[in-house]
């Protein structure tokens, strides 16, 4: 058994045990993942892989029913082994678009991301994969860093304190969360072994492993503008850059799409000064102008000194 295989197997077992100890009875496992795990040293015969349509739930589910495979007739092959019969399901949500082909491609991408185990340590520690949320035909897309504890629990980006502030800023522009698409550089919560709380930024390896999912999301959505929230999002999309303080407020390009770097809303929670709020608001005004959104005089004056 190769080290990689053993590591993946250990991570999977650890993940399932962790979920079980938290009372979870169902997990999502992609057919291709199961097939890969079923390869040598144990050859699983007569396995059945089936996607099961279920009503939406926040918890992925998989039922594992042990069965005995049918022994081959008069052969010298090894004795039959107990083979798991696995029924796989992924939480179903309806992804709609003016283009059915786009919706289908996005749905397939989501299913691949939701069953990803490319970072075994994150697959073992996560509660959910936080794929992204919103309108896949949106003109505006937000990219953050990585899910925090709240997002990991629920499976939706930016729903904790920073997310609530982002939602408020969005409402100030006249948009709602349903008008835009929100995703992160990393789709799993960065683990913090040995710590019961706290966050850490994604490592360069984690970012490199996960970024293809985000790139596919962007290529499918084709927004007119992207807002990168904070240094990790800016670095993750643009590579090593001047730093968020110098870059914010200045249009960049990413995959042919104008990208506005701005501060992460968590920064505004830490620094409540009017001047920092105004900087972020000015970045949003530039985005509104780019999208040719109406801007009232009142909106133009938000967070200016009286
Ligand atoms: N911070 C982020 O960058 N992303 C989230 O989804 C939540 C908090």
Cβ-in-10-Å burial (0-12, 13-18, 19+) of 306 comes to exposed
Cβ of 145 below 6 Å from ligand 1:
yes
Whole-prediction pTM: 0.74
Cβ of 209 below 6 Å from ligand 1:
no
Mutate to test the pocket of ligand 1, among 143, 159, 163 (most ligand atoms within 8 A of CB): 163
Mean pLDDT of all residues in 24-33: 50
CA-to-CA distance for 215 and 212, rounded, in angstroms?
5
**Residue 57: per-residue pLDDT:** 28
Dist. CA 38 → ligand 1 center (Å): 35
Query: Which residue ranges form the domains of the chain, and what is each CATH number?
Result: 3-88 (no CATH), 100-300 (3.40.470.10)
CA-to-CA distance for 292 and 295, rounded, in angstroms?
9
Dist. CA 64 → ligand 1 center (Å): 33
Cβ of 148 below 6 Å from ligand 1:
yes
Question: Strand 181-184 and strand 140-144: pairing?
Answer: parallel
More confident call, 262 vs 24: 262
Query: Mean pLDDT score of the chain, rounded to an integer?
Result: 82
Buried b (16+ CB within 10 A) or exposed e, 1-12: eeeeeeebeebb
Specify the ligand 1 atom closest to the Cα of 150: 7
Tokens, residue 10: 């250990």
Dist. CA 298 → ligand 1 center (Å): 29
| Tens-digit pLDDT profile for residues 134-167 | 999 999 999 999 999 999 999 999 999 999 999 9
| Tens-digit pLDDT profile for residues 180-199 | 999 999 999 999 998 878 89
**Residue 33: per-residue pLDDT:** 46
| Tens-digit pLDDT profile for residues 258-296 | 999 999 999 999 999 999 999 999 999 999 999 999 999
């Amino acid at each position: 058994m190769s080290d990689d295989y053993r590591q993946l197997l250990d991570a999977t077992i650890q993940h399932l045990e962790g979920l079980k100890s938290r009372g979870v009875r169902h997990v999502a496992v992609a057919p291709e993942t199961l097939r890969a795990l079923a390869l040598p040293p144990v050859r699983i015969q007569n396995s059945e892989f089936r996607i099961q349509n279920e009503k939406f739930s926040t918890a992925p589910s998989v039922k594992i029913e042990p069965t005995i495979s049918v022994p081959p007739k008069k052969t010298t092959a090894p004795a039959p082994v107990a083979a798991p019969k696995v029924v796989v399901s992924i939480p179903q949500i309806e992804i709609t678009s003016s283009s059915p082909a786009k919706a289908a491609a996005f749905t397939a991408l989501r299913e691949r991301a939701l069953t990803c185990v490319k970072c075994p340590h994150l697959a073992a520690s996560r509660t959910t994969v936080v794929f992204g949320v919103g309108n896949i035909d949106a003109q505006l897309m937000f990219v953050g860093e990585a899910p925090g504890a709240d997002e990991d629990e629920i499976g939706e980006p930016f729903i904790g304190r920073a997310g609530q502030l982002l939602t408020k800023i969005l409402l100030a522009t006249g948009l709602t969360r349903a008008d835009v698409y929100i995703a992160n550089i990393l789709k799993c919560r960065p683990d913090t072994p040995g710590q019961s709380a706290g966050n850490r930024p994604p490592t360069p390896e984690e970012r490199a492993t996960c970024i293809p999912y985000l790139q596919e999301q962007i290529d499918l959505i084709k927004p007119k503008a992207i807002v990168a929230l904070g240094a990790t999002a800016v670095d993750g999309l643009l590579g090593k850059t001047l730093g968020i303080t110098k870059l914010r407020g200045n249009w960049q390009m990413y995959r042919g799409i104008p990208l506005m770097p701005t501060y992460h809303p968590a920064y505004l929670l830490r620094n409540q000064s009017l001047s920092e709020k105004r900087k972020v608001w000015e970045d949003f005004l530039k985005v509104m102008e780019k999208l040719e959104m109406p801007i009232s005089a009142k909106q133009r004056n938000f967070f200016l000194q009286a």
